Amino acid sequence: MPIITIFGATGNQGSAVLQAVLASGTYTPRAVSRSLDTPASKALIAKGIEVVVGNLWDKESVKKAIRGSDVVFGTTNFWDPEVFPADPQGKGEITQGKNLVDAAKEEGVKFFIHSSLPNVSEDSKGQFTHVYHCDNKAAIENHLKASGVPFAVLLTGYFPENLYNYGLMEKTDTGFRIPIPKYGPNDNQEFTWVGHDLGQAAVALLSNYHDSKKSILGKRFPVVSFKATHTELADAIAKGECFQLRSSFRARSGAPREKADPAKIEAYVCQGIRSVSGVFGSHHSAFVTMSSAKPGPAT
């Protein structure tokens, strides 16, 4: 079977892609990690998955990791402590992305799936120029376009997984509170439920990239699982688990927070979203098109 090399395979996005690829049975996933000795890498190895070492700061290691694969799933790490907070003038996420794209080109990769975000500076016509985690990914996308490597882009929204991956739900006497100070209670948000949808979207691209009639190459596909305010999300989670969850917002304070058990929260969030799936309105049409595409034979 052809190989897809997956960056971030020990993290949220890459692991979702890895699981979906495994389930599709059309490609052999190869996971990339900076270390084979972490629990996440060891867990993959124990399941018989090939894990190779690659570090996005080191192009040669990335080339080695990719060698012999047909496809690459690429995600970069904006939050890397080596470069965070972002310095647009210095070494940053764009360096990681350029290393990855250049390595893919030099290794003759046939198809590159880039996890991207919109260029907020451009889209807002210069009104918002400091949303680096978005603009960086758009810059990498431009580099990919110029490289000549066949590619398609998956655009993501806010991950509901943040609630348990980053301990964003605070325990209260009566339930949980979701403090998300960047957003107002009535601000609409496009969510990408990574564990549920991102892998399926990647598999749909994998199944269709060789078919010129489908013309997916060079295109951007938003993966939007649902649209909601954070208040609606909180209500959904509360309904799902039948416990009282206050959907009010409050600013972060310096006071210590009691973290809820991430595994429990994950179960609550997933159950909540599942229980109300559909109530937030229609799924994004591009995503529906892709997710309904039947996996075809890989060449």
Ligand X SMILES: NC(=O)c1ccc[n+]([C@@H]2O[C@H](COP(=O)([O-])OP(=O)(O)OC[C@H]3O[C@@H](n4cnc5c(N)ncnc54)[C@H](OP(=O)(O)O)[C@@H]3O)[C@@H](O)[C@H]2O)c1
Rank residues 52 and 236 by Cβ distance to ligand X and give the closer one.
52
Instruction: For residue 16, give both structure tokens.
Output: 């979702």
User: In the complex, what is the shortest distance from the CB of residue 12 to ligand X, in angstroms, rounded to a whole number?
Assistant: 4
Q: Which of 69-77, 142-150, 173-181, 229-237 is the region at the interface with ligand X (rule: CB under 6 A)?
A: 69-77
CA angle 8, 117, 93 (to 5 degrees): 55
- Give the residue nearest to ligand X (CB): 11
| Residue 56 found at the interface with ligand X (CB under 6 A) | yes
User: In the complex, what is the shortest distance from the CB of residue 22 to ligand X, in angstroms, rounded to a whole number?
Assistant: 16
Residues 25-54 that bind ligand X (CB under 6 A): 33-34, 38, 40-41, 54
Chain-centroid distance of CA 162 in Å reads 11
Q: What is residue 156's three-state secondary structure? A: strand
Rank residues 55 and 121 by Cβ distance to ligand X and give the closer one.
55
- In this structure, the number of other CB atoms found within 10 A of the CB of residue 31 comes to 25
User: In the complex, what is the shortest distance from the CB of residue 34 to ligand X, in angstroms, rounded to a whole number?
Assistant: 3
Contacting residue, 8, 29, 74, 240, with ligand X by CB under 6 A: 8
| Residue 13 found at the interface with ligand X (CB under 6 A) | yes
- Is there a contact between 187 and 157 (Cβ–Cβ < 8 Å)? no
| Residue 76 found at the interface with ligand X (CB under 6 A) | yes
Q: What is residue 173's three-state secondary structure? A: coil
Q: What is residue 111's three-state secondary structure? A: strand
Rank residues 44 and 245 by Cβ distance to ligand X and give the closer one.
44
Residues 159-198 that bind ligand X (CB under 6 A): 159, 162
Rank residues 88 and 296 by Cβ distance to ligand X and give the closer one.
88
- For the chain, state the CA radius of gyration: 19
- Is there a contact between 14 and 115 (Cβ–Cβ < 8 Å)? no
Is there a cis peptide before residue 160, judged by omega within 30 degrees of 0? no
| Residue 78 found at the interface with ligand X (CB under 6 A) | yes
| Residue 133 found at the interface with ligand X (CB under 6 A) | yes
What count of residues does the chain have? 299
Q: Concatenated DSSP letters for 205-258?
A: HHHHTT-GGG--TT-EEEE--EEEEHHHHHHHHHHHHTS--B-------SS--P
- Among candidates 296, 8, 33, 26, which has minimal Cα distance to 137? 8
- Among candidates 132, 14, 155, which has minimal Cα distance to 79? 132
| Residue 20 found at the interface with ligand X (CB under 6 A) | no
Residues 198-217 that bind ligand X (CB under 6 A): none
How many residues touch ligand X (CB under 6 A)? 29
Q: Which of 4-12, 208-216, 229-237, 249-257 is the region at the interface with ligand X (rule: CB under 6 A)?
A: 4-12
User: In the complex, what is the shortest distance from the CB of residue 41 to ligand X, in angstroms, rounded to a whole number?
Assistant: 6
Q: How far apart are CA 21 and CA 200, in angstroms?
A: 8
| Residue 227 found at the interface with ligand X (CB under 6 A) | no
Contacting residue, 75, 189, 207, 208, with ligand X by CB under 6 A: 75
Instruction: For residue 125, give both structure tokens.
Output: 């016509």
Strand-pair category, 28-33 with 50-53: parallel
Contacting residue, 28, 80, 121, 123, with ligand X by CB under 6 A: 80
Q: Which residues bind ligand X (CB under 6 A)?
A: 7-14, 33-34, 38, 40-41, 54-57, 75-80, 117, 133, 156, 158-159, 162
